[in-house]
Structure 1
């Protein structure tokens, strides 16, 4: 009998993309059913005890009846869902981390949870460079003026001109799958690249960048881009004190996580001239609330948390989780299992 798989897609990683890849990876040995979750037309958020999920416990419980495997991007996996779906043995989440799954409960229930590290690394690196270049050259404000029919010659004034990448020192905070790609492109453009990442060994950046402490990076870099994960240590790591260490007229970019940065301090620094510009794809509150200074402070170019969104990412995401399904069916080790201790753990 074919293994029953639920493809819980959304409007980005489409259900049929998941289905096609699962069938390909399993040589047709799966019976796949589909549901479509509302993200991004409806923002993700907490569902019971998990965060950044889309859909409800009720619809997942109904859709998972009899299913042994679920492939998804944002479907929640909660204690309640696990208790109501005893046939479930594998949950494959096509994200960089399984934040929409209760890993402790999944382990107790004997459900392996996989994820997809690096699925959007290329897209996010390219988007980071897009915002970096746009912020360095004032593209956001000049574009807004042009759309209003305003042609401002004073943008050519010396004090209003932007920064070239060639010859500039660019500091990257974090050197994982995204930061390392950004570094290589910047080096190709002629930048001097500094990296701060306490988990990276010097040989990994050799020939590309210089590994330095955070204070050194901030004082030497005319452009700083954030690529760190959010932890207790990194939350709020860049605030007024750190921005003040940067050369006057610098540029700050964040396509990582909003919690890394004090955005009020950024607005203050732009108002004072300490920062010449900034580029953001992530924010402390999403969507950005009406009345936020980010919406009125000049020199900031923004996008609505879309750095990881490309058509190629949707296909990669489906292919990565489908690959885990194929390995599961063949009895092979899973490539990216977040709770490997589940093997040998009986369901409660």
Structure 2
């Protein structure tokens, strides 16, 4: 009699090749809708699951873990994992995996693209043309901010922050940073470490690259925005709650800063009638910084590798709670 395959619940469609690998080794229950599974659906579907492959949009808390008594592994297809109660999973001996490093360059590309689009008012220009307003060339039309030679302040000089800094060097930008422990990498990039106040006061562009923690929640609020130049542009591809949304709206509306480019928001997604979406100087994209075909495929394979290892009783290749392996060095 053939051994029964373990059941893995996958909370959304993932790239085909990675999903096929999972099907070869496991029984797969896939939530195939565009939106995340509703809470009650998640609790029902996970009841008999041995493994869980989830996304940032899925809240995996104590209640979910209680609903899944057979669960042996959780794999988050993301670098971050603030959607998972890791402490609760660790208490149950459940390893939690993520997909680190793979999206560094792709995310940095997008952060810099967002910076450039906001600085040079590219979305406004496109709308201007498509709405039929372009009648002639004008020397004062949609004047933006220069990037070349400007000062870039990076909050969080980790892997993605460093990758953004490498791109900034190609534009001969002065680079300031706050947060980040790799002093040698910073020196190689020509980046100068300063306190947050100095960074905000001196930067023409401020790009956020910090994880969401108790310390970083609301890191950029009304007081911090008032420190920035009225010509400055804020870029957030980190986590939405790092920025106080209400304070940002007021700063943009009142001209305290020139513009913002946001790939993450709070709340996320923003309601269609949210005030931020009514502002011409606020560019918002739907959390797609790492969304290239190659990167998404690599992330999916890494997430599947975590699931397969966990179901085999092996250490996860990318484990965020190694305390579940007390005997491992």
Query: If the TM-score is normalised by the length of the shorter chain, which range does it land in?
Result: 0.7 to 0.9
Give the 5 Å matches for 1:125-140.
Answer: 125-140=108-123
TM-score scaled by length of structure 1: 0.80
> In 2, Cα distance between the equivalents of 1:331 and 1:207?
41
* Residue equivalent to 1:4: 6
1:291-328 superposed Cα distances (whole Å, 9 cap, x missing partner): 42212222221112222322223211222123335555
| Match among 17, 20, 35 for residue 42 of structure 1 | 35
The structural deviation recorded for 1:136 is: 0.4
Alignment CA distance shift 1:21-1:213 (3 Å) = farther
TM-score scaled by length of structure 2: 0.85
2:90–2:324 CA contact under 8 A, matched in 1:
yes
Indicate the RMSD between aligned Cα atoms, in angstroms.
Answer: 3.0
Alignment CA distance shift 1:100-1:33 (3 Å) = farther
* Residue equivalent to 1:202: 183
> In 2, Cα distance between the equivalents of 1:35 and 1:255?
31
1:195–1:212 CA contact under 8 A, matched in 2:
yes
1:155–1:161 CA contact under 8 A, matched in 2:
no
- Structure 1, gaps ≥5 residues long: 49-54
1:128-186 superposed Cα distances (whole Å, 9 cap, x missing partner): 1121001101112222221211117687328x521222111111111122211111111
Q: Does 1:61 align with 2:47?
A: yes
> In 1, Cα distance between the equivalents of 2:116 and 2:243?
20
The structural deviation recorded for 1:97 is: 3.2
Alignment CA distance shift 1:17-1:224 (3 Å) = same
The structural deviation recorded for 1:288 is: 1.7
Number of residue-to-residue matches in the alignment: 323
The structural deviation recorded for 1:271 is: 3.5
* Residue equivalent to 1:73: 55
1:250–1:277 CA contact under 8 A, matched in 2:
yes
* Residue equivalent to 1:52: none
* Residue equivalent to 2:316: 334
Alignment CA distance shift 1:18-1:334 (3 Å) = same
The structural deviation recorded for 1:122 is: 2.8
| Match among 279, 284, 289 for residue 261 of structure 2 | 279
> In 2, Cα distance between the equivalents of 1:266 and 1:286?
15
The structural deviation recorded for 1:336 is: 2.5
> In 1, Cα distance between the equivalents of 2:163 and 2:47?
40
| Match among 285, 298, 302 for residue 303 of structure 1 | 285
